[in-house]
Amino acid sequence: MQDGTKIESAANKYKFVWKKSVQKNQAKLLEKLPDFVNKAKEDFSVSLSYGNVIHLHQLKKLRRKLKARQKEQGIQFVHGIGKRSSFAKTDLDATFMRMKEDAMKNGQLKPAYNIQYGTDSEFVTWATVGPQPADTTTLIPFLQEMERYTNKRYRNVVADAGYESEENYRIQLRVNRSIQASKISSS
């Protein structure tokens, strides 16, 4: 059986970055690149030669130089968020999620972690912590990681309806495993 819960992070809930916001403002960011290159030259003595337009390969070269300077001087740079749609500025590993216990009942997003655990005969056999806000995307990676580290493969998996998705069923059928997703009543 697999289940999970969300644990609130200690991050400041009012300091977050949204991926769509960054994408929307990308044109403005590109306009600011020459100023950024000049600032990198002034602050870190890292120069970059370019023509009228800064190309991606030039930015990668600048990044390599800044990374080398980072190691030399022990500097902490803020970087991207990968596939997540948000992250907290004060806890880069936390993702903004809707929590089950919302005291204000206003659906406010809070920085949190999604804890997943698997049990067998009432004993916890595996647990993971991740940034995924929904359970549907955690089932397959959870089972694969558990199998890789424990060398145990469960033929029948029972999970609540939060893990139910067409992709989860399709993948499990391919590896000859059955999933039983059941609706749990909260009465």
Note the pLDDT tens digit of each residue in 51-109: 777 877 888 888 888 888 888 888 766 555 566 667 667 777 778 887 776 666 666 77
Q: What is the mean pLDDT of residues 140-152?
A: 89
Report the distance separating Cα 28 and Cα 39, nearest Å: 17
Residues 9 and 38 in one domain: no
Residues 158 and 106 in one domain: yes
Instruction: Kindly report the pTM of this predicted structure.
Output: 0.52
More confident residue, 19 or 158: 158
Residue 84 CB neighbours (<10 A): 17
Residues 111 and 147 in one domain: yes
Residues 133 and 164 in one domain: yes
Q: Could you tell me if residue 43 is inside a domain?
A: yes
Q: How far is CA 60 from the centre of its chain?
A: 23
Residues 65 and 96 in one domain: no
Domain enclosing residue 52, as ranges:
16-73
With bands split at pLDDT 50, 70 and 90, how would you rate the model's confidence at 148?
Answer: very high
Within 37-163, strands assigned E span 86-88, 95-98, 109-120, 123-130, 156-160
Q: In this predicted structure, what is the pLDDT of residue 14?
A: 63
Instruction: State the maximum Cα–Cα separation within the chain, in Å, rounded to a whole number.
Output: 67
Q: Could you tell me if residue 132 is inside a domain?
A: yes
Q: Could you tell me if residue 187 is inside a domain?
A: no
Residue 53 CB neighbours (<10 A): 9
Q: Could you tell me if residue 80 is inside a domain?
A: no
Residues 98 and 9 in one domain: yes
Note the pLDDT tens digit of each residue in 151-168: 988 888 888 877 788 887
Residues 21 and 112 in one domain: no
Q: In this predicted structure, what is the pLDDT of residue 72?
A: 85
Q: Could you tell me if residue 124 is inside a domain?
A: yes
Residues 94 and 168 in one domain: yes
Is 80 exceeded by the pLDDT of residue 140? yes
Note the pLDDT tens digit of each residue in 107-139: 677 888 888 888 888 899 889 888 888 888 888
